[in-house]
């Protein structure tokens, strides 16, 4: 039951008494009080309607904000992916060289680089990593 409905109910009770406002001071006061209550009820209903409208506008704003967030964060994700790809998996500290004996691609990792030797798991051969070739060539020019 809303306040307006309660006021209407009391107004009905008041009307049922058949009081004469011209003769009864109490009847006149009750009538005035009922008028005030009716006005309060109407104003409250107006505020409820305004609150509902605010709710709707707030929902619309939230939707807009979350759409903006999606757009902004999507862009950042793409940038992150780009920067990750730049120094990510492709930037690992190993490379492959073919085995000089059997031609199998061998993984040269930090360990093999440190030892300067690669063991081939396919043919069982061992061979030294010869990074000095280039330097030797440069030296021989002199």
Binding residues (CB under 5 A) for Zn ion: these are: 99, 101-102, 104, 120, 122-123, 125
d(CA 78, CA 8): 63
Contact assessment for residue 31 and residue 15, using Cβ atoms and an 8 Å cutoff: no
d(CA 100, CA 113): 17
Eight-state DSSP code of residue 93: S
CB of 92 to Zn ion, least distance (A): 22
When the beta carbons of 112 and 120 are compared against Zn ion, the nearer one is 120
CB of 119 to Zn ion, least distance (A): 9
When the beta carbons of 85 and 100 are compared against Zn ion, the nearer one is 100
Please give the angle made by the CA atoms of 99, 105 and 111, to the nearest 5 degrees.
80
CB of 101 to Zn ion, least distance (A): 4
When the beta carbons of 37 and 99 are compared against Zn ion, the nearer one is 99
When the beta carbons of 52 and 109 are compared against Zn ion, the nearer one is 109
CB of 112 to Zn ion, least distance (A): 14
Contact assessment for residue 108 and residue 129, using Cβ atoms and an 8 Å cutoff: yes
């Amino acid at each position: 039951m809303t306040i307006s409905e309660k006021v209407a109910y009391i107004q009905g009770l008041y009307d049922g008494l058949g009081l004469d406002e011209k003769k009864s001071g109490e009847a006149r006061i009750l009538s005035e009080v009922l008028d005030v209550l009716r006005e309060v009820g109407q104003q409250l209903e107006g505020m409820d309607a305004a609150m509902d409208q605010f709710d709707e506008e707030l929902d619309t704003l939230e939707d807009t904000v979350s759409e903006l967030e999606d757009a902004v964060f999507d862009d950042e994700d793409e940038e992150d992916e780009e920067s990750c790809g730049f120094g990510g998996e492709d930037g690992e500290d190993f490379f492959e060289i073919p085995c000089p004996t059997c031609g199998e691609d061998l993984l040269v990792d930090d360990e093999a680089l440190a030892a300067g030797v690669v063991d081939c798991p396919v043919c069982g051969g061992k061979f030294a990593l010869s990074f000095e070739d280039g330097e030797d060539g440069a030296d021989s020019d002199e």
